[in-house]
Amino acid sequence: MGGYNGSVEFKIQFTKLFINGEFVDSVSGKTFETRDPRNAEVIASVAEGDKVDVDLAVKAARNAFDNGAWPRMSGYERGRIMMKFADLIEEHAEELATIDTIDGGKLFSLCKAMDIPHCVHLLRYYAGAADKIHGETLKLSGEFQGYTLKEPIGVIGHIIPWNFPTAMFFLKVSPALAVGCTMIVKPAEQTPLSALYYAHLAKLAGIPDGVLNVVTGFGPTAGSAICSHMDVDKVSFTGSTEVGKIVMEAAAKSNLKHVSLELGGKSPLIIFDDADLDKAVNLAHNAVFFNKGEICAAGSRVFVQEGIFDAFVEKSVEMAKSRVIGDPFNPEVQQGPQIDKKQFDKVLKYIEYGKNEGATLLTGGKSYGDKGYFIEPTIFTDVNEHMKIAKDEIFGPVLCLMKFKTIEEAIEKANATRYGLAAGIITNDLNIANRVSRSVRAGTIWINCFFIFDPSCPFGGFKMSGFGKDQGLDAMHKYLHVPVDPDVDADYVEAI
C-alpha cells in the first residue's frame, strides 16, 4: 500500500449471503451494520441471515454432499482445487488484509505477513493430505476378516469468532474440504466481510456450488439455527465457554450431532530465575498484548520467580509504556483498537475490578485517544488467584504479574484455573522444563517461546477450554467417521 498517509480507500464488494454458489439477499431482506473499530464508523450493511436462510444453506450443502461431485472426487482432485484456492488468496492478499484490518482492527502489516500466509499454508497442507486418508484391514477372531473406511461425516456447521477471522475460517474449512465434507460457515457478526470474500474465491477456484456456504448474521438466530438443525451432522465452534455450552446443548437436543469446541483460556506463563531477563520480558509482553490481547491462548497470567521478579516488573512496565497505539494501517503502530464498544467496555470494566479488589495498577488502565476503541496496555501486580482479573478471560491488553518461590508453587498456581488451553515456560534448565510441562494441564505448552502455530501441530484445550483439535492430521479426523465392514472368509462359507 506504499507509505502510510493517514487514510485508506477500499470498496467492499461482497455483503450478501453466499448460498449454493450465489450471493443472495436474506429472505427477510434484513441487514446489519459492520463498523470500523478505529472510529466506530459504518463500513457496510451486510445481509442478516436467520433460520430460514440457514435452512436454505443446509439444503444446498446436503444436496452437494448426497448427490454432488465433491465427496465423490478423489482426494487428489480435491487437493488440486484447494491448491488453486490457495493461489487465488495469495493473489488477493492485499485486499484480504485490508478487509480484516478495517473490519477487525488488526494490524495490516501482520495480516499481510502472518494471517494470510498462514491460511494459505493451511490450505496447501490439507490439500496435500486429501489423498492420504486410509482405513485399515483387520484380521478378526474366527474365520472373519474386516476393514474400516474413513469417510466424510457430511454437512458441517462452522461457527467462527472475530479475533482472527481469516485464520479461524481456514482452521475449520481446510480440513473439512480435504476429507470431502460440505459446510455452512457463520462468521462473527463483528467481522463478516472476509468470509464472504473467501466464498467468492472458492467459487473461482472451482469448489462446486453448495459445498461452501456462508451465512452472516447473529449467534442467537443464525448460529442457533445451525446448532439445532436436524440435517447438520457436526458443529465446529470457536468462541467463549459460555456459548460453547449452548452449542453443545443444542446439538444434544436436536440430532446428537458431533461437536468440537475451542473455547476460552487464561493461560499461565511461568518464568524461572535462570531465564534470560530481556527475552522473558519480550515474550511475556507479546504473549498478552499481541493482537491487542484478543486471543484465546493469551498468556495473561504471568508467574515470575522471586529472584528476578522486581527486575522483571521494572522492564515490563517500561516496555508496555513504550508500546505504540494507533491506526493499524500505520506500520509504526503495534496495537490497534479492540473489536467493538461491547468488548471495549468489558475490558475497562475488568480493569476496574482489578483496582477495586486490591491489585496494584502499574501502568495503563485507561482508554486511548478520543475516538475508536483503543485501550492502553495494562499491567497489574499484587494479584491473587481469587481476583476476577486472574480467573476470567478478559480478552484484552491486561497482564497480571504474580510472584512464586518454588516449582511446586508455580505448578499449583498455573493449574488453579477452570481453563486449560495453553501455557508457557521460560527456563534454561531442561529438567525444570520437562517437569513443569508434564504437570501443567494445558493442551499446548510452549517452552522458551509463545504463539508458535504450525499447520502440522494440533491445537486444542482441556477442561473448560473445550475438546477437539484444530490443525494437524487430528483436525481431519474430526470430520471423518469410521464404518466397519466385517466379512466372512470364502472357505468358511463353503464349509457351512
Catalytically active residues, by annotation: 262
CB 119 within 8 A of CB 170: yes
Print the SS3 string covering 148-186.
ECCEECCEEEEECCCCCHHHHHHHHHHHHHHHCCEEEEE
CB 178 within 8 A of CB 75: yes
Task: Please tell me the distance from the alpha carbon of residue 204 to that of residue 182, in angstroms, as a whole number.
Answer: 17
Distances (CA, A) of 304 to 51, 269, 274: 50, 8, 11
C-alpha cell at 122: 493451511
The rounded radius of gyration (Å) of the Cα atoms in the chain is 24
Task: Please tell me the distance from the alpha carbon of residue 315 to that of residue 175, in angstroms, as a whole number.
Answer: 42
Q: Which of 194, 136, 126, 189 lies closest to 478, judged by CA? A: 126
C-alpha atoms less than 13 angstroms from C-alpha of 339 in its C-beta half-sphere: 22
3-state secondary structure of 227: helix
Task: Please tell me the distance from the alpha carbon of residue 200 to that of residue 431, in angstroms, as a whole number.
Answer: 51
CB 68 within 8 A of CB 31: no
**Other Cβ atoms within 10 Å of 378 Cβ, number:** 27
Task: Please tell me the distance from the alpha carbon of residue 267 to that of residue 265, in angstroms, as a whole number.
Answer: 6
C-alpha atoms less than 13 angstroms from C-alpha of 99 in its C-beta half-sphere: 27
Task: Please tell me the distance from the alpha carbon of residue 461 to that of residue 421, in angstroms, as a whole number.
Answer: 4
Q: Which of 242, 394, 367, 341 lies closest to 33, judged by CA? A: 341
**Other Cβ atoms within 10 Å of 295 Cβ, number:** 20
Distances (CA, A) of 219 to 14, 105, 126, 210: 21, 21, 28, 22
